[in-house]
Amino acid sequence: MKTALITGASRGLGAALAVALAPTHHIIAVGKTTGALEEIDDLIRAAGGEATLAPMDITVDAAMQQLCRSIFDRWGKLDLWIHTAIHAAPLAPAGHIGPKDLAKSITINVEATARLIGYVGPLLGRDGHAVFTDDPRGGAQFFGAYGATKAAQIALAKSWQAESEKTGPHVHIVTPNPMPTATRARFYPGEDRNKLSSPADEAARLLGTLSL
């Protein structure tokens, strides 16, 4: 069976992708909330799949090194990596972004992503696939911290995509439709969530656009 590492698997789109991939992939689910990961594990098993739960913080370098070493020791490689982990800093005018919020956004959205590309890339090799989710908010009012660091994350992914075009792995950048996730609720608390696409529907749609 193929293997799929999902960073940010405990909720939202990451969780939905884990369940959608369960019939064809052994899921390695990374998230900070153990209880949420256990709930995803139940759904994966109900879908006929198996999961390895990794309750870890992607910003802890030693933990990510150990995780990737463990993947290599057990499977020798990785077929798919989907990166959905993100920090959604509170909305604020550009001149009033809290230093801690900005630092956390840079650490999670940019620095951790850069390190993971370095660690996971060799596991994917020539034939593996990496998937990043875009959310273009750069330059939008009050989205300074989130928009800038999300844009930086995608810029890293695009550079890796260009660099690996001939050598692999295959790097994909997809843009999900708006979903009723916790991240979006922080940005649009009064929104009618019934009009949004469900994470399960988006997971199916996005996977349908990829040749994995």
pLDDT in tens, 1-13: 999 999 999 999 9
Residue 167: inside a domain = yes
Q: What is the residue range of 190's domain?
A: 2-205
Residue 212: inside a domain = no
The amino acid that residue 212 corresponds to is: L
Residue 210: inside a domain = no
d(CA 163, CA 179): 31
Residue 14: inside a domain = yes
- Asked whether residue 49 carries a pLDDT value surpassing 90, the answer given is yes
48: phi > 0 → left, psi -120 to 50 → alpha, else beta; which?
A: left
The number of domains in the chain is: 1
Q: What is the CATH number of the domain that holds 191?
A: 3.40.50.720
Residue 28: inside a domain = yes
Residue owning tokens 């997971």? 203
The pTM assigned to this predicted structure is 0.96
Backbone phi, psi, residue 101, to 5°: -65, -40
Residue 8: inside a domain = yes
d(CA 143, CA 89): 8
Is-cis flag, bond preceding 169, omega within 30? yes
- Residue 68: C-alpha distances to residues 83, 129, 156, 161 (Å): 14, 16, 20, 21
Residue 99: inside a domain = yes
> Over the stretch 137-195, which tens digit does the pLDDT of each residue have?
999 999 999 999 999 999 999 999 999 999 999 999 999 999 999 899 989 998 999 99
> Over the stretch 102-140, which tens digit does the pLDDT of each residue have?
999 999 999 999 999 999 999 999 999 999 999 999 999
Listed residue (164, 192, 163) closest to 180, CA to CA: 192
